[in-house]
Amino acid sequence: MSCYFVWFRGKYKQNRFQDGSSRSCVINGETLRSRDFDEVRQFGVCWMMMIQLGHVSEVVRYPVKSMAGNTTESAYLGWHGLDGDRRFAFRRLEDKSGFPWLTASSLPVLVLYHPFGLDESTGEPLPTHVRTPAGTSFELRGAELQNEISERLGSSVELMNLKHGIFDDSSISVISLATMAGISRTAEVELDTRRFRANIVLETHDLEPFREDKWVGGTLVFGDSEPTPKVRITQRDVRCMMINLDPDTAKQDARVLKTAVRLNDNNAGVYGTVVQTGEIQVGQVVMLQMD
């Protein structure tokens, strides 16, 4: 479903175009046609296409890198992603590479650790404790958790807290239910959105998988309240073995990643960068702005 908008004096105005080879719309009583675009731009009016994609189905924070996520009805989208997202990670002390962070690729059982609690002393929601796979609760910043993870890994780790987040490629990730359903159906596994670890899950009008690939270069606009959150889509999300992990058991099923490779060259979902901050909420209508 698509429509055309103009940007006039800081506001979007939706317009219905007249039929015929020369599209036109009316702004402030004046009829403007497509052949007048260059002249119109001189007066601060520009043209763009807005496509209504669907609505927000899930919003998820992952406070500790590779651990379980926390779903929420709403979250503030700041310049460094969702507030409270991936602000913690365990660093492998013996790793001297440029990527020392411990992930479930090296220790799959990490996905069974569940951060919980609420510490807002820093101005964003951060967990205070972690529930282990055995059901024991440890303080997130305590020695007990650090020692348990070091023992499981077989080498020393330490918890790091970075206020701007610890991300692989970008601070915000988006995927559609259609893409996850397409992969799961073909791989013959039950659909579980937790496998894909996206921050924002969309329920789209278009039920074809991998439509996100076409969003690259465009901007997602969330809702119509001010300020309106916006995310510029920068690249496709190249997947790794993380999507093979069952979020409830940490067991691997190689069919999932193999299916993503076969169906879409190992891409599922997209990454973006924040161009306008604001509140992301479940149920918000999502538009794709193509300049």
Average pLDDT per block of 10 residues along the chain, 291 residues long: 44 42 41 43 58 97 98 98 98 92 97 96 95 98 98 97 93 98 98 98 97 97 93 98 98 98 98 97 96 76
Tokens of 149: 């993870």
CATH number of domain containing 278: 2.40.33.20
Evaluate whether 212 touches 280 at the Cβ level (below 8 Å): no
The residue segments making up the domain with residue 177 are 54-58+169-290
pLDDT in the model for residue 47: 55
In the chain, how many domains are there?
3
pLDDT in the model for residue 49: 80
Residues 148 and 229 in one domain: no
Evaluate whether 177 touches 202 at the Cβ level (below 8 Å): yes
pLDDT in the model for residue 98: 86
How many residues can be counted in the chain? Answer: 291
Domain boundary among 161, 178, 212: 161
Residues 108 and 187 in one domain: no
Q: What is the Cα–Cα distance from 278 to 56, expressed in whole angstroms?
A: 14
Is residue 77 included in any domain, yes or no?
Answer: no
Residues 130 and 184 in one domain: no
Residues in CB range of 136: below 8 A, 6 or more apart: none
Residues 153 and 174 in one domain: no
Domain boundary among 137, 161, 185: 161
Evaluate whether 258 touches 121 at the Cβ level (below 8 Å): no
Is residue 74 included in any domain, yes or no?
Answer: no
Is residue 126 included in any domain, yes or no?
Answer: yes
pLDDT in the model for residue 35: 42
Task: Quickly list DSSP for 216-249.
Answer: TTSEEEE-SSSS--EEEEEEEEE--GGGGB-TTT
Evaluate whether 186 touches 258 at the Cβ level (below 8 Å): no
- CA distance readout (Å), 23 to 15, 37, 190: 11, 11, 47
Evaluate whether 259 touches 120 at the Cβ level (below 8 Å): no
Helix (H) or strand (E) holding 201: strand 200-204
The DSSP bridge pattern shows strands 172-176 and 30-33 to be unpaired
Q: What is the Cα–Cα distance from 145 to 139, expressed in whole angstroms?
A: 7
Phi-psi region of 226 (alpha: psi -120 to 50; beta: other; left: phi over 0): beta
Is residue 66 included in any domain, yes or no?
Answer: no
Q: What is the biggest distance separating any 2 CA atoms in the chain, rounded to whole angstroms?
A: 72
The DSSP bridge pattern shows strands 137-139 and 157-161 to be unpaired
Domain boundary among 161, 191, 210: 161
The long-range contacts involving 251-257, CB below 8 angstroms and separated by at least 24 positions, are: 252/108, 253/187, 253/189, 255/187, 255/188, 255/189, 256/183, 256/184, 256/187, 256/189, 256/195
Question: Does residue 189 sit in helix, strand or coil?
Answer: coil
Residues 19 and 130 in one domain: no
Residue recorded with tokens 């879409």: 264
Helix (H) or strand (E) holding 98: none
